[in-house]
Amino acid sequence: MHAVNPLDDPTADPFAIAALAAQRIAELTGVERHDIALTLGSGWGRAAELIGETTHTLAATEVPGFSKPALEGHVGTLRSVLLPNGKRALVIGARTHYYEDHGVRRVVHSVRTAAATGATTMILTNGAGGIKEHWTPGTPVLISDHINLTADSPLEGATFVDLTDLYSKRLRDLAHSVAPGLDEGVYCQFRGPHYETPAEVQMAKIIGGHIVGMSTALEAIAARQAGMEVLGMSLITNLAAGIQQSPLSHEEVIEAGRAAEPVISSLLAKIVAEL
Ligand code: 8IG
């Protein structure tokens, strides 16, 4: 059985579906509004346990517009977490990637839903490749800006949205205060799902990129459109192709994420505690 996703109807209003999804989350959790939202990418999952008390776990498929995760290691759940300071976090463990080919509306639905639940801060995390040689696998990096190489946008029609300071300086400063020495870099979103060629990595470097990945930029744009303040963090699980001499393997990437998970998750929890 393949359930129909309402976002696949081109005449549907994606914001109305996000509002429905938020309403469903409120019904299922009894939590009227969430203050912050976190999308936990590979390597970041444990942060869900460290930031506070999970009071409700929903299968993403219970909420309109969400779909089953395509990838093992990506948990298809939405959690409502009560933070020690009394705030509420919506933890999104169900990312739809652009390379899944369901269209950009499905990619950014979780972000729009988070905004519709009331969240004003969006924390986007991912596993990614590093272009700076001193970033050994397991290094967390703050995203300072992005280059969107998908040639796509979540904005539809003549919707002009300013992306200056998209990755909030205020939140980056806060992260630096919690974790002195945290590095920053410009995130390049490629379509994937193949990793880059070494020549493409050199291109990314020349145009100002430091991190290569397959998510986050499109999500960040949607978050800005929704008026949210964005914090982006990458876990460097591998050096990008050609920067590291050995071929990239998905298994190694998963393993690097697993090894770094306790450290980076507690780092993220410390940042969330300061929000
Ligand atoms: I984990 O090297 C991870 N995700 N595009 N390139 C791209 N995405 C990634 C990489 C990488 N590593």
Q: Distance between CA 66 and CA 7 in Å, rounded?
A: 9
For ligand 1, say whether the CB of 77 is within 6 Å of any of its atoms.
no
CA 255 to CA 151: how far, in whole Å? Answer: 31
Give the model's pLDDT for residue 177.
95
Cβ neighbours, 10 Å, residue 176: 14
pLDDT grade, residue 71 (50/70/90)?
A: low
Beta bridge partners of 225: none
Q: What is the pLDDT of residues 176-188, one digit of tens each?
A: 999 999 999 999 9
**Residue range 165-173: mean pLDDT, rounded:** 97
Alpha-carbon torsion, ordered 95, 100, 101, 106, to 10 deg: -10
Beta strands in the chain (DSSP E): 36-39, 53-59, 77-82, 88-92, 121-130, 139-148, 183-189, 211-213, 229-239
**Judging by DSSP bridges, how do beta strands 88-92 and 36-39 pair with one another?**
parallel
**Token match 């799902």: residue?**
193
Decide: 200 in ligand 1 pocket, CB within 6 A.
no
196 catalytic? Reply is yes
pLDDT reported for residue 256: 85
Mean pLDDT of 253-265: 88
- Give the closest residue to 118 by CA, choosing from 18, 50, 217, 40: 18
Query: 41 CB less than 6 Å from ligand 1?
Result: no
Torsion of CA 221, 96, 113, 127, to 10 degrees: -60
**Which CB contacts under 8 angstroms, 24+ apart, belong to 258-261?**
258/43, 259/138, 260/43, 260/137, 260/138, 260/139, 260/140, 260/235, 261/43, 261/44, 261/45, 261/46
Res. 272: pLDDT tops 80: yes
If you measure from the C-alpha of residue 192 to the centroid of ligand 1, how many angstroms do you get, rounded to a whole number? 8
- Quote the mean pLDDT of the chain: 93
In this structure, the dihedral spanned by the alpha carbons of residues 115, 119, 121 and 125, taken in order and rounded to 10 degrees, is -70
Mean pLDDT of 71-81: 76
Chain-centroid distance of CA 22 in Å reads: 18
Answer yes or no: are the C-beta atoms of 257 and 42 closer than 8 Å: yes
213 C-alpha to ligand 1 centroid (Å): 5
Give residues with Cβ within 8 angstroms of 70, minimum separation 6.
96, 97, 100
Query: 6-274: which CATH architecture?
Result: 3-Layer(aba) Sandwich (3.40)
Ligand 1 nearest atom to the CA of residue 43, by list position: 1
Which residues of 94-170 form beta strands (DSSP E)? Answer: 121-130, 139-148
Ligand 1 neighbour 217 (Cβ under 6 A): no
- Euclidean distance between CA atoms 121 and 171, whole angstroms: 9
Enumerate the domain spans of the chain: 6-274
pTM of the entire predicted model: 0.95
Phi, psi of 152 (to 5 degrees): -135, 170
> Which residue lies with its CA nearest to atom 5 of ligand 1?
213
